[in-house]
């Protein structure tokens, strides 16, 4: 055995050693960049280096092995320039947002970063707010959304908000109300296309069967989830169930020539409804493709 | 028609007699010195509550110094008698001076002083320009605010800190003044925190601490303005014609932890409720003083858009990162400077190679 290994190394004396050398050197260089502050952060707090070298690699096993995510219609994402990605929200904690970001970066040839719009709550929490900002998220408000879109970013939004993530398992895959349609006005004013996205699989990760309101109020969270495993199994209950995920990027809905209608509630609500209906229909279609939530 | 364009041209030209408030401080003294050096300006009058310290004396050569309390009607007489054409209001204190009466006194100086000064300006016959130093603290800082403030952004929450509220009051008075005296060109400059190689600002002292306290779980986005660039913008606002309100900051962003790492220093995260205790201790030991303004800034950060400044002034301040580099040049690196980190990296790589070399040699 020792001989065999020695021979293998002998046959190609440098390549293996060099690969490891390079890896160690690369890691040390990254560490040096981090320790000396030698990286750049954009005005929203997005830290590209940290996202590429820490956040995305940490999420990838979850994306590939645990949830076995399959994507459809990635070609609908633009190679460059802005687009507003509107998706359904579910799964008690917003794992779907993280998986969507991995899908956009890893499945698209241009390896684009998804700039998510998050709720107030996210930016109120210490720790969470920093991870959110560094991974490219910002507060869901029109000035930020329009600023990102104007600078040509891919912006992701979940208009259902907490109504979506915090809904009961019995209501799974039923789209909730779409708020005031602020995302539509942002797209209209900047003339960016809206890409409807449907995510199937997140609903089964933490099936929400109850909500302990007093605890939620005590912790200042929108709800305190009760799932078949949480809080009964303690830390083990935090492990998401390994459901099969499908993500479909729909055809872009153009908003060109409607820049003046950004404040017209009629146009805004109609477009929001159209997006909502598109996502709902494609959710039904995806569910037929995936009759068994635990399939391979 | 030609007469009117003549008038506007005259208004656009540099004022000959300028009055600067707050000359007993670094910023005021430096602004006054630049005005003295400008051949277009014939006379510079410097005003402050206290006599300038000796270290500022070289800067204030050629400046006509007056010890005047702005809350006193004396200032109106000075403006009229001297035929002042431009007033530069810099006597706005960001820091609470505990020696001279604390927060109440500094609010009095900031707000009442500005009120009186503007009332005096209203009566000054020759006045045609007013430049007021303000601060981006006017935007406050909260988790519900947009990531980037433009001059038109209304803060979602009024600033919690005393200074932020003072600044909003002051800007309110300037708006009123502008309504009453539409002929006077009024410029309000909202400055990001000043930093620089030799600037004795509070921020400089904070980043020069060997162990820098931060808020646990928060890494605010910060922006700075280099003192020299701030002076340039102030000077241009005085000698050129730029009515309106402008954010003044260096482009780009440094997060607090990134800035501390760049300075080679060590962060010391404190939980938010514990920070006020640390602040109290620091204050009593005289190392630095914190107010709610700073606390909110260090929790939520603050970033402004400077497009309007760059377009109107035709001047782009150096970036936040460059301004901070200049500060490091003055302050020096802390224990974790880049040379040490690089040396550590090299020694680790070398020792790995050495170990591998011996292991492979044994085989």
Question: ipTM of the assembly?
Answer: 0.85
Residue B79: strand, helix, or coil: helix
Element (H, E) at B106: helix B102-107
| Cα–Cα nearest to A30, from B218, B341, B324 | B341
Q: ∠ CA(A255), CA(A257), CA(A259), 5° rounding?
A: 80
B-chain CB neighbours of A120 within 8 Å are 143-144
Separation of alpha carbons A266 and A139, rounded Å: 25
Would you say domain B2-195+225-249+304-316 falls under CATH 3.30.70.2860?
no
Q: Which residues of B touch A138 (CB under 8 A)?
A: 146-147
Residue from the list A35, A125, A147 with its beta carbon closest to the beta carbon of B261? A35
The token pair that represents A5 in the structure block = 């290994």
Give pLDDT, residue A93.
Answer: 86
Query: Per DSSP, which regions of B194-280 are E strands?
Result: 194-195, 211-215, 221-222, 225-226, 244-248, 254-255, 266-270
Q: What is the pLDDT of residue B338?
A: 84
Q: Is the pLDDT of residue B285 over 60?
A: no
Contacts of residue B307, defined as CB under 8 A and 6 or more positions apart, other chains included, come to: B150
Percent of chain A's residues with pLDDT above 90 = 65
Residues 109-128 of A with CB under 8 A from B: 120, 123-128
Q: At residue A4, does pLDDT exceed 50? A: no
Residues 6+ apart with CB under 8 A from B308: B150, B151, B244, B246, B247
Give the integer Cα–Cα distance in Å for B145 and A143. 10
Residues B144, A139: C-beta atoms closer than 8 Å: yes
| Residue-level pLDDT at B248 | 97
Nearest to B173 by CA among B107, B111, B104: B111
Q: What is the pLDDT of residues A36-51, one digit of tens each?
A: 899 999 999 999 999 9
B261 to A39: CB separation less than 8 angstroms, yes or no: no
Question: E strands along B73-230, which residues?
Answer: 86-89, 129-135, 185-191, 194-195, 211-215, 221-222, 225-226
Residue B2 has pLDDT above 50, yes or no: no
Task: Choose the closest CB to B258 out of A32, A37, A120.
Answer: A37
Q: Which residue has the tokens 């917003």?
A: A94
Does residue A99 carry a pLDDT above 60? yes
Query: Which of A282-296, B106-120, B200-214 is the most confident on average?
Result: A282-296
Report pLDDT digits (tens) over B201-251. Answer: 677 778 888 788 888 889 999 999 999 999 999 999 999 999 999 999 999
pLDDT, tens only, B115-174: 999 999 999 999 999 999 999 989 988 888 999 999 998 877 778 777 888 899 999 999
Query: Does the pLDDT at position A70 exceed 50?
Result: yes
The reply to whether residue A36 touches residue B259, judged by beta carbons under 8 angstroms, is no
User: How far is residue B116's CA from residue B112's CA, in Å, rounded to a whole number?
Assistant: 6
- In terms of DSSP bridges, do strands B43-48 and A225-226 run parallel, antiparallel, or are they unpaired? unpaired
Domain ranges of chain B: 2-195+225-249+304-316
Residues of A whose CB is below 8 A from B153: 143
Q: Best mutation site among A34, A36, A125 for testing chain B: the one with the most B CBs within 10 Å?
A: A36
Residues of B in contact with A130 (CB under 8 A): 217-219
CA dist., res. B117 & res. B55, Å (int): 27
Task: Give the number of other Cβ atoms within 10 Å of residue B346's Cβ.
Answer: 12
Say what percent of chain B tops pLDDT 90. Answer: 49
**CA-CA-CA-CA torsion sign (B170, B172, B175, B176):** negative
Number of Cβ pairs < 8 A linking chain A and chain B: 101
Option in B146, B148, B341 nearest A32 (CB): B341
Residue among B219, B254, B338 minimizing CB distance to A36: B338
Instruction: Identify the closest residue of chain A to B349 by CA–CA distance.
Output: A25
């Amino acid at each position: 055995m020792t001989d065999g290994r020695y021979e293998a190394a002998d046959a190609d004396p440098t390549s293996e050693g060099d690969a490891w050398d390079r890896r160690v050197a690369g890691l040390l260089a990254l560490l040096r960049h981090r320790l000396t502050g030698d990286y750049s952060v954009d005005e929203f707090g997005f830290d590209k280096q940290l996202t590429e070298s820490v956040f995305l690699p940490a999420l990838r096993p979850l994306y590939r092995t645990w949830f076995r995510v399959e994507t459809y219609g990635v070609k609908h994402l633009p190679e460059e320039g802005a687009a507003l990605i509107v998706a359904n929200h579910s799964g008690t904690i917003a794992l779907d947002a993280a998986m969507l970001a991995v899908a956009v970066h890893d499945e698209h040839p241009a390896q684009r970063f998804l700039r998510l719009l998050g709720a107030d709550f996210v930016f109120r929490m210490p720790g969470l707010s920093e991870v959110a900002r560094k991974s490219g998220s910002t507060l869901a408000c029109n000035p930020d959304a329009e600023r990102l879109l104007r600078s040509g970013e891919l912006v992701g939004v979940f208009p259902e908000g907490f109504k979506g993530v915090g809904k009961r398992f019995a209501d799974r895959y039923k789209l909730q109300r779409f708020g005031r349609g602020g995302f539509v006005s942002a797209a209209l004013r900047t003339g960016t296309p809206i890409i409807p996205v449907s995510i199937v699989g997140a609903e089964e990760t933490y099936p929400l069967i109850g909500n302990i309101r007093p605890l939620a109020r005590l912790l200042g969270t929108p709800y305190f989830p009760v799932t078949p495993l949480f809080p009964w199994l303690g830390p083990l209950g935090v492990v998401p169930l390994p459901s099969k995920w499908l993500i479909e990027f729909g055809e872009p809905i153009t908003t060109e020539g409607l820049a003046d209608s950004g404040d017209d509630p009629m146009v805004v609500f109609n477009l929001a409804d159209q997006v909502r209906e598109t996502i709902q229909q494609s959710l039904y279609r995806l569910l037929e493709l995936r009759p068994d939530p635990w399939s391979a | 028609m030609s007469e009117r364009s003549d008038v506007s041209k005259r208004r656009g030209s540099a004022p000959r007699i300028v009055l600067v408030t707050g000359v007993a401080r670094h910023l005021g003294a430096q602004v006054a010195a630049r005005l003295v050096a400008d051949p277009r300006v014939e006379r510079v009058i410097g005003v402050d509550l206290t006599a300038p310290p000796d270290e500022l004396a070289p800067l204030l050569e050629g400046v006509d110094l007056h010890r005047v309390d702005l809350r006193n009607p004396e200032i109106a007489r000075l403006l009229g008698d001297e035929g002042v054409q431009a007033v530069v209001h810099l006597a706005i204190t960001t820091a609470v001076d505990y020696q001279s009466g604390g927060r109440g006194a500094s609010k009095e100086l900031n707000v009442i002083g500005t009120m009186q000064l503007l009332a005096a300006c209203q009566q000054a016959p020759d006045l045609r320009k007013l430049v007021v130093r303000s601060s981006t603290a006017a935007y406050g800082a909260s988790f519900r605010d947009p990531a980037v403030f433009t001059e038109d952004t209304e803060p979602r929450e009024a600033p919690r800190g005393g200074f932020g509220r003072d600044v909003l009051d002051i800007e309110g008075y300037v708006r009123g003044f502008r309504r009453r005296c539409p002929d006077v060109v009024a410029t309000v400059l909202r400055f990001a925190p000043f930093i620089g190689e030799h600037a004795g600002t509070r921020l400089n002292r904070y980043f020069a601490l060997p162990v820098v306290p931060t808020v646990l779980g928060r890494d605010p986005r910060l922006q700075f303005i280099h003192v020299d660039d701030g002076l340039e913008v102030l000077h241009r606002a005085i000698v050129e014609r730029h009515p309106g309100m402008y954010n003044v900051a260096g482009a780009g962003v440094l997060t607090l932890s990134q800035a501390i790492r760049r300075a080679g220093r060590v962060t010391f995260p404190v939980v938010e409720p514990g920070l006020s205790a640390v602040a109290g201790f620091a204050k009593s030991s005289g190392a630095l003083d914190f107010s709610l303004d700073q606390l909110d800034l260090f929790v939520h950060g603050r970033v402004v858009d400077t497009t309007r400044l760059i377009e109107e002034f035709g001047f782009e301040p150096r970036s936040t990162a460059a301004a901070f580099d200049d500060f490091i040049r003055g302050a020096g690196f802390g224990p974790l400077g880049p040379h040490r980190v690089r040396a550590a990296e090299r020694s680790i790589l070398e020792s790995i190679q050495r170990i591998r070399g011996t292991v492979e040699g044994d085989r």
